[in-house]
Amino acid sequence: MKQLLILCVGLLATALAPASYADKKPPAAAQAQETPAVPTYVQVVTSMGSFTIELNAERAPLTVAQFLKYVDQGYYSGTIFHRAIPSFIIQGGGYDADYKLKGSPAKIVNESGNGLTNQRGTVGLARPPEPHGGDVQFYVNLNDNATLDPNQTRWGYAVFGRVVQGMEVADQISLVPTGAKGPFKENAPEKPVIIEKIERVPAPAP
């Protein structure tokens, strides 16, 4: 099934050799890189403060395009950070304040072989065990998390941006009291951390 799925989305790599994806991007990604992409910035406004993300459409064109589609639709307003683990990640964008999934967003091809790694401050696309199962949920790395990067035997988690302002807000979100909420047995904030909106913003001042 993995090979069938990969063929359907036009990848030349196989699930058994995910690291080769860096050299064999799908046609849309290759076309997007003919002209270096100008960084796009978005601000994530939460009930605990705001942080700004620089999106890297040059390295993760498919992921950034889908993320911005949902940003422009206002999809993220009213979703939450449903996972908060100090010194690891905060994750959100897919559940509402009642810890119920919001909608049925489209899945996206895994771009984890793009050369970007899960270092502190970077932003990646969350997904289930299925390599191409990511959709709207994203996470912020609070540490250098090499275990989320791809290698010769596994797919990784695609990094598509980095926090350039307000990283302290992400750190504070990770420190809220957590426990079992909704479908989650642990690491879910006891008081929902609401994503009030995500919107495009100009580049931050130097």
pLDDT for residue 15: 33
Structural domain boundaries, residue 105: 2-201
Average pLDDT, the chain: 87
Q: Can you give the pLDDT at residue 206?
A: 81
Q: Is the pTM of this model over 0.85?
A: no
Compute the average pLDDT of residues 95-103: 95
Q: How many domains does the chain have?
A: 1
> What pLDDT digit, counting tens, does each position of 9-21 carry?
333 333 333 333 3
In the prediction, which pLDDT does 104 show? 87
Residue pLDDT, tens place only, 56-83: 999 999 999 999 999 999 999 999 999 9
In a domain, 149, yes or no: yes
Domain membership flag for residue 21: yes
pLDDT per residue as tens digits for the range 123-152 = 999 999 999 999 999 999 999 999 999 999
Does any domain span residue 166? yes
DSSP the chain: -HHHHHHHTT-SS-TT-GGGGGTS--HHHHHHTTSPPPPEEEEEEETTEEEEEEE-TTT-HHHHHHHHHHHHHTTTTTEEEEEEETTTEEEEEEEETTS-B-S-PPP----TTSS----TTEEEE---SSTT---S-EEEESS--GGGS-BTTB----EEEEEEE-HHHHHHHHTS-EEEETTEEEEEESS-EEEEEEEEEPPPP-
Answer whether residue 206 is part of any domain. no
Query: Model confidence at 7, in pLDDT bands (50, 70, 90)?
Result: very low
201 has a pLDDT exceeding 60: yes
Q: What is the CATH number of the domain that holds 71?
A: 2.40.100.10
pLDDT band at residue 38 using 50, 70 and 90 as cut-offs: confident
Out of 24-33, 139-148, 192-201, least confident range: 24-33
